[in-house]
């Protein structure tokens, strides 16, 4: 069962309930954010990069450490193209299932993988890469308290076209375009699950938003 119609309702409930998370940008500024989860992936991230480059869009990639280690050349390509990078955990395990120590280690190991793959200083990556997207959007008050204590910023979403169930390019694009507004934070996927259509969805959706800044 597809849950896409439920996400806008969840957003309206969760945003005021958890103000410590970034759910969207300012409604009075003509800007939106495109975020990508679960990458990098050679078959999906590279075609997406071409679309982003063509339309001069800076996206926000929330990476899995294991994928960064597996595909370092893709990670370097994303970084060198100037996109914003965040953390999605090392291996997509749900944050509430991890102890505080295991969660912190997952984030550090992902930062370490980014430093190695992108040929950056580890200390610089620890300083610059502070945004975190919980896998599957799942967190608890303890999760948020831990992230705040470690000075990470939890980044969530306001537009979820549910691309991972592959509803079709036109359907996913229509969901985006029908919901997007000033400050929207859109989540797509360029990983093994759902990334097959990401370049086509972006190509179908974002030329319509070209008069809107796209950033986080």
User: What are the tens digits of pLDDT across the range 83-118?
Assistant: 999 999 999 999 999 999 999 999 999 999 999 999
How high does pLDDT run on average in the chain?
Answer: 94
d(CA 36, CA 32): 14
Model confidence pTM above 0.75: yes
Report the C-alpha gap between 147 and 74 in whole angstroms.
Answer: 27
pLDDT tens per residue across span 52-70: 999 999 999 999 999 999 9
Break the chain into its structural domains and give their ranges. Answer: 4-214
CATH of domain 4-214: 3.20.20.370
Q: What is the DSSP letter of 32?
A: E
Flag whether pLDDT at 211 surpasses 80. no
Residue 81's alpha-carbon distances to 33, 37, 41, 56, 184, in angstroms, are: 17, 17, 16, 10, 23
């Amino acid at each position: 069962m597809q849950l896409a119609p439920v996400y806008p309702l969840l957003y309206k409930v969760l945003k005021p309930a958890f103000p410590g998370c970034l759910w969207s940008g300012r409604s009075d500024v003509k800007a939106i954010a495109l975020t990508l989860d679960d990458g990098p992936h050679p078959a999906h991230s590279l075609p997406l990069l071409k679309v982003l480059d063509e339309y001069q869009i800076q996206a926000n990639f929330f990476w899995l450490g294991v994928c960064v280690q597996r595909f370092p050349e893709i990670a370097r390509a994303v970084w060198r193209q100037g996109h914003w990078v965040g953390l999605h955990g090392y291996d997509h395990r749900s944050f509430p299932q991890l102890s505080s120590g295991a969660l912190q280690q997952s984030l550090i190991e992902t930062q370490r993988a980014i430093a190695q793959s992108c040929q950056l200083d580890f200390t610089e990556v620890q300083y610059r890469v502070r945004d975190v997207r919980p896998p599957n959007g799942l967190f608890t008050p303890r999760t948020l308290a831990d992230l705040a204590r470690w000075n990470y910023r939890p980044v969530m979403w306001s537009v979820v076209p549910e691309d991972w169930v592959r509803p079709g390019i036109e359907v996913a694009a229509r969901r985006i375009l029908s919901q997007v507004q000033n400050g929207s934070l859109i989540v797509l996927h360029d990983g093994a699950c759902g990334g097959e259509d990401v370049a086509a969805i972006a190509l179908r959706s974002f030329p319509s938003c070209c008069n809107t800044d796209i950033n986080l």
